[in-house]
Amino acid sequence: MNEMTLAYWNEYRKENGSHPPIDVEAFQFGDDANALAALVVSGKKTATCSAHVLYEMENELLPYVGQYAIVLDATERPVAIIQTTDVTIQPMNEVSEEFALAEGEGTYADWWDIHERFFSELLGSYQLSFSPSMKLVCERFIVVDRFNVKE
């Protein structure tokens, strides 16, 4: 986590008491970090998904309800702090249209095309193949703070 992001998190924690945990993840969404970060800040993106198999391969903990994260743009500048409100694991071909639309990237068909391409490329880098029934970790979140925006 860079200095600016750490300072942002520490300021958020200071302003919101000791409730938020000390540990927080900072990350960029997908393969167009700026566009996806803008969707988060605008409130159009309130969900995301990731390949379950990668959590298993990397022995990484799954996201959990109440977890905080800092969303970064393509230059690794913080844009917002989000908090996870729901986590489910389901096959990609069973993801609802409502969830896909909550990802903020267009129609259900747009969501499918974007994610099939993204997961095909990502899994290919691990010598794995995309499958329409691959398990996804589907998260919903709320924006709890926007960087440099005080309401």
133 occurs within a structural domain: yes
76 occurs within a structural domain: yes
pLDDT of 22 strictly over 80? no
Exposure pattern of 32-65 as b/e (b: 16+ CB <10 Å)?
A: ebeebbebbbeeebbbbbbbbbebeeeeeeebee
151 occurs within a structural domain: no
State which residues form the domain around 86: 3-146
Q: For the chain, how many structural domains are there in total?
A: 1
Q: CATH number for the domain including 80?
A: 3.10.400.10
pLDDT of 148: 78
134 occurs within a structural domain: yes
86 occurs within a structural domain: yes
pLDDT digits (tens, 9 = 90+) for 63-117: 999 999 999 999 999 999 999 999 999 999 999 999 999 999 999 999 999 999 9
124 occurs within a structural domain: yes
